[in-house]
Amino acid sequence: MFFPVSGVEVNPLIPPLVALLVSILTAPAGVSGAFLLLPFQMSFLHYTSPSVSPTNLIYNIVAIPGGLYRYIKDGRMAWPLTWVVVVGTLPGVFLGSWIRIAYLPDPKAFKLFVGTVLLYLGVKLVLEFTGKSKNKKVQNKALEQKFKERVEQLKTETNKKLAAGLPAEAIVKTKSFSLKKIEYDFWGETYSFSTMAIFILALVVGLIGGIYGIGGGAIIAPFCVSILGLPVYTVAGAALAGTFLTSIAGVIFYTILAATSIGASTNVSPDWLLGALFGVGGLLGTYCGAYVQKFLKEKIVKGIMATLVLFLAFRYIIQFFL
The answer for residues whose C-beta is within 8 angstroms of residue 47's C-beta and 6 or more apart is 6, 7, 8, 41, 55, 271, 274
DSSP secondary structure of 196-220 = HHHHHHHHHHHHHHHHHT--SHHHH
CA distance 130 to 137: 14
Amino acid at 206: G
Domains of the chain, residue spans: 12-164+188-321
The answer for residues whose C-beta is within 8 angstroms of residue 78's C-beta and 6 or more apart is 172, 174, 184, 186, 230, 234, 235, 237, 238
Q: How far is CA 207 from the centre of its chain?
A: 15
For residue 259, report the phi and psi dihedrals to the nearest 5 degrees: -90, 0
Q: What is the mean pLDDT of residues 262-285?
A: 87
CA distance 167 to 184: 18
Write out pLDDT tens, residues 242-253: 889 888 888 888
Write out pLDDT tens, residues 123-137: 877 876 665 555 556
Mean pLDDT of the chain: 83
What's the confidence (pLDDT) of residue 42? 79
Listed in sequence order, the DSSP H helices in 132-214 are 138-158, 195-212
For residue 189, report the phi and psi dihedrals to the nearest 5 degrees: -115, 145
Q: What is the mean pLDDT of residues 225-242?
A: 88
What's the confidence (pLDDT) of residue 22? 92
CA distance 93 to 210: 4
pLDDT grade for 159, boundaries at 50, 70 and 90: low
Cross-strand partners of 183: 176, 192
Write out pLDDT tens, residues 74-116: 899 999 999 998 898 888 877 877 777 777 666 677 678 778 8
pLDDT grade for 162, boundaries at 50, 70 and 90: very low
Is a pLDDT exceeding 80 seen at residue 321? yes
Query: DSSP state, 27?
Result: G
CA distance 183 to 41: 40
For residue 181, report the phi and psi dihedrals to the nearest 5 degrees: -150, 145
Write out pLDDT tens, residues 193-206: 999 999 998 888 88
Cross-strand partners of 2: 9
Q: For the ranges 56-70, 204-218, 278-292, which has the lowest average pLDDT? A: 204-218
Q: For the ranges 64-68, 141-145, 305-309, which has the lowest average pLDDT? A: 141-145
pTM: 0.81
